[in-house]
Chains A and B, each alone.
Chain A
Amino acid sequence: MRRFIEKSVEKVLMASGAITSLTILLIVVFLFRQGAGLFRNSVVEENYSLAVNKTNPVEKLTPEEIKNIFDREIVNWAQVGGLNEDISVFRLNDITSYVSEEALGEEMQFLSHHLSEIVDTHPHIIAFIPNEYIRKDFKGKVLDVGKITPSDFFAGKEWFPTAQPAPLFGLLPLLLGTLWVSFAAILFALPFGLAVAIYLAELASTRTRAVLKPVIELLAGIPSVIYGFFGLVVVVPLIQKTFDLPVGETALAGSVILAVMAMPTIITIAEDAIRTVPRATKEASLALGASQMQTIFKVILPYCVSGIMAAVVLGIGRAVGETMAVLMVTGNSAIIPTTLLEPVRTIPATIAAELGEAPTGGAHYEALFMLGVILFLITLFISILIEIISAKQIKQQQ
C-alpha cells in the first residue's frame, strides 16, 4: 500500500514536470495552426471580387498593385501591363453616379444587372464588388487574384492590414523595425553592461558588490509598462527637444529604453563569464608583469569572449520580444526604418496594438498569429544559439 502511494506520487510529480513541455507544444500547435490560416485567405477582402471589362488584357494583379490602384497611385493600365488607358475605379457605393436609385429597384433587385452593364460598357473600369452580385450572366471578367502567398507575407514591404480592397500583410517593415531597434539597443547597452560586469567581477570590493548587485537585479524586476511610461514622459520629450523633432516617439527612444531593460541580463551573464576565468590564468598574466588593466583587457576579456557573446545574444532576445515599453515610445508607424530618429513599429507592438481590433478568425487576426510564429521562431533560434555558444564554452574550458 505504501509502495503504491509512493509510486503514484512519483507519477504525479513526473506529470507536472511534463507541463512545461506540453505548454510549448500547445503554443506551437495553436500559433502555427492559426497563423497558417493566413495563406488560405483570398488577396481581396472575403466574399468580394475584382472585375474588369472583358476586353482588358490584364489577367492578374499583385496585392500591392491592387492597393495602389484603389489609392489612385497607379492611374494607368499600362503601369500594370495593360493598355495605355486611364484606370477608372469603381466601388459599390459609386453606383449612384452611374444609375439612378429608382433604376436599382426597391429591394436592389436590379443591382447585379446594372453592375454587369457598368463593367461591360466601361472598358477601363476596375470594380470591387461583393460576390453575391456576380451572377452567371455577368458580362465582365472576374480577375483571378488568388490567395495570399508566403512570399506576399515574407517579402512584402508594406503592412497595411486594414486597406481595402486588398489588405497588405508585409512582414519586412515590422521585422526590420524590430531588429533595428533591438540592435541599436544592444549597441547602447553593451559598453555599459561590460563596464559594470568588469567592475563587479574584478574591481569592486565584496561590500560594494553586495550593495550593487541587488540594485541591478531590481532593475530587471521593473515591469515593462513602467519603463514604457517613464520613456513616454521623460525620454521621449528629451529626444524631441535635443534633436528638434516634430515628434519624440522614435526608434531612438525605443532603443534607449530597451538598452536599460536588456542591461541586467547582459551584466549578469557577462559577470558570470568573467568569474569563470581561472585564477591561474590571471596570476600568470600578473606574474609576467602585466598591469591589472592589461590583464583585464588582454587576458580576461579574450578568455571569456564566448560568454560575452552569450550575454549579447540573450540581450537581443530580451529586446526582440519586449512589447509594452516599445509600443509606448516608438510611435508605431509601419515603415522600413532608415534612421534612428524616425518612428518604427516592431512585431510585438503590432500584435499588442492590433489584435484587439482584428475580427477573430479573419485574415488580419491570422496575420497577427503569423507574426507570433515569427517571434517564437526568433526566440527559438536565439535559444539554440545560446546552447551552441555555451557548449563551445564548456569544450574550451576542458
Chain B
Amino acid sequence: MKNLKQQKQAAVFWILRIMTWLVVGILFWILGFLLVKGMGVLSWEFITTAPKNEMTSGGIFPAIVGTLCLVTGSMLVAFPIGVMSGIYLNEYARNGWTVRFIRIMTNNLSSIPSIVFGLFGMALFVNTLGFGDSILAGSLTLGLLVLPIVIRTTEESLKAIPDTFRNGSRALGASQLQTIYKVVLPIAFPNIMTGLILSIGRVSGETAPILFTVAAYFLPKLPTSIFDQVMALPYHLYVLATSGTDLEAARPMAYGTALVLILIVLLMNIIAGIIRSLTSKDYVK
C-alpha cells in the first residue's frame, strides 16, 4: 500500500521534472533552430554590407548601425535619469507617500505595452514636438520604455549595501552627497551596470515602439544626424519575414538577421547575469 503511494509520488515528480525540461528545451529549440538555419548566412560580408536585390542578398550593416544609434540614444536618456531617480528613492526619500507614489508609477510604467509607447512617441515626439521620424524621437521613446528597468536595478543594488557603510562615512564627517558619491556608488557600480546592460538587450530587441517613431523600411544610407531615420535589426527582421517582395528568397537573410539579433540580446542578458552572480556575495563578508 505504502509502496503504491510512493510510486505515485515518484511518477508525479517525474512528470513535473519532464515538464520543466520541456520548458527549458524551448529556449534551446529556438536557439538551435536559428543557429542551424542562420549560421550559413553569417559572414563578414553579411555584417558589413547593405541589403541588395530587394533585400534578398547582401547584408544588414545599416540595420546594425541603426540599432547601435538607438541603443546609444536611449541609454543617454534612460541611464542618467534612471540612476538619479534610483538614488533619490533609496538614499534621500523618506518613506512617505511621495516614494510610494513614485514606486507605483514606475511599476505601472513598466507594465504599459510597448505598442502604447509607440503611439505615445508618435503623438508627442514625432508630431507635437515635430522631431519627425528620427533617431531622436525613437531614442526618447525607447529611453522612457526602459527607464523602469534602470530605476529598479539601481534601487536594488543600493538597497543591498548595508547601512554600516553609510554610517561609517557620515561618522568620519563626510556629507550625504560625498557618502553617495565616494562610498555608496563605487560599491553599487557593477550592479547598476547590470541595469544598463539589461536595458541595452531590451532596446535592441524592441520593435513596436520604433515602428512609427524612427524605423525605415529600406535605407542603405547611414544616418548623419539625430534627425535622420534609420533601419533597425528587429524591424528589419519583421520586414524580411512578412513584407518583402519575395519572401522565400529573403528567408536566408531573415534567418541571419534573427541569429544576429538573438545573439546580441542573449549576450547582454548573460553578461548581466554573470556580473550579478559575481557581486551578489560580496557584502556578506
B136 within 8 A of A: no
By beta carbon, the residue of chain B nearest A189 is B23
- Chain A residues contacting B24 (CB-CB under 8 Å) are 212, 215-216
Question: A225 to B108, Cβ gap below 8 A?
Answer: no
Question: B33 to A20, Cβ gap below 8 A?
Answer: no
User: Contacts A263-B23, A323-B208, A351-B119 known; A328 to B108 CB distance under 8 Å?
Assistant: no
Closest CB-CB distance, B11 to chain A, in whole Å? 10
B194 within 8 A of A: no
Tell me, in angstroms, the Cα distance from A324 to B254 when the chains sit together: 15
Question: B17 to A20, Cβ gap below 8 A?
Answer: no
- Chain A residues contacting B116 (CB-CB under 8 Å) are 27, 31, 321, 372, 375-376, 379
Q: Interface residues of B toward A: which range?
A: 35 or more
- Chain A residues contacting B111 (CB-CB under 8 Å) are 317, 321, 379, 382-383
Question: A199 to B17, Cβ gap below 8 A?
Answer: yes
Question: A376 to B109, Cβ gap below 8 A?
Answer: no
- Partner-contacting stretch, out of A3-11, A39-47, A115-123, A299-307: A3-11
B105 touches which of A21, A222, A263, A382 (Cβ 8 Å): A21
Closest CB-CB distance, A390 to chain B, in whole Å? 11
Tell me, in angstroms, the Cα distance from A17 to B106 when the chains sit together: 9
- Chain B residues contacting A26 (CB-CB under 8 Å) are 120, 124
A360 within 8 A of B: yes
Question: A20 to B20, Cβ gap below 8 A?
Answer: no
Question: B175 to A372, Cβ gap below 8 A?
Answer: no
- Chain A residues contacting B101 (CB-CB under 8 Å) are 21
B230 within 8 A of A: no
Question: A225 to B234, Cβ gap below 8 A?
Answer: yes
Tell me, in angstroms, the Cα distance from A203 to B15 when the chains sit together: 12
Majority DSSP secondary structure for residues of B touching A: helix
As a 0/1 sequence over residues 245 to 285 of chain B, the CB contacts with chain A under 8 angstroms (1 = contact) are: 00000010010001001100110111001000000000000
B114 within 8 A of A: yes
- Chain B residues contacting A214 (CB-CB under 8 Å) are 270, 273
Question: A20 to B207, Cβ gap below 8 A?
Answer: no
Question: A21 to B102, Cβ gap below 8 A?
Answer: yes
B185 within 8 A of A: no
Majority DSSP secondary structure for residues of A touching B: helix
Question: B20 to A348, Cβ gap below 8 A?
Answer: no
Question: B147 to A6, Cβ gap below 8 A?
Answer: no
- Partner-contacting stretch, out of B39-47, B53-61, B80-88: B80-88
- Chain B residues contacting A83 (CB-CB under 8 Å) are none
Question: A355 to B266, Cβ gap below 8 A?
Answer: no
A34 within 8 A of B: yes
A205-229 interface (Cβ within 8 A of B):
212, 214-219, 221-229
A152-192 interface (Cβ within 8 A of B):
191-192
Question: B205 to A224, Cβ gap below 8 A?
Answer: yes
Question: A324 to B208, Cβ gap below 8 A?
Answer: yes
CB within 8 Å of B: which residues of A?
A: 2, 5-6, 9-10, 12-14, 16-21, 23-24, 26-27, 30-31, 34, 191-192, 195-196, 198-200, 203-204, 212, 214-219, 221-230, 232-234, 260, 263, 267, 291-293, 317, 320-324, 328, 348, 351-352, 355-356, 360, 368-369, 372, 375-376, 379-380, 382-383, 387
Q: Could you list some 25 contacts between A and B, CB below 8 A?
A: A6-B177, A18-B85, A19-B81, A24-B105, A27-B116, A30-B128, A31-B119, A34-B123, A195-B15, A195-B16, A203-B17, A215-B27, A221-B268, A222-B30, A222-B265, A223-B204, A223-B265, A225-B238, A230-B33, A234-B33, A321-B112, A323-B114, A352-B115, A356-B211, A383-B107
Q: A348-B208, A372-B120 given. 14 additional CB < 8 A pairs?
A: A6-B176, A20-B102, A20-B105, A20-B109, A26-B120, A27-B117, A31-B119, A191-B19, A192-B19, A199-B17, A218-B27, A226-B258, A234-B33, A379-B111
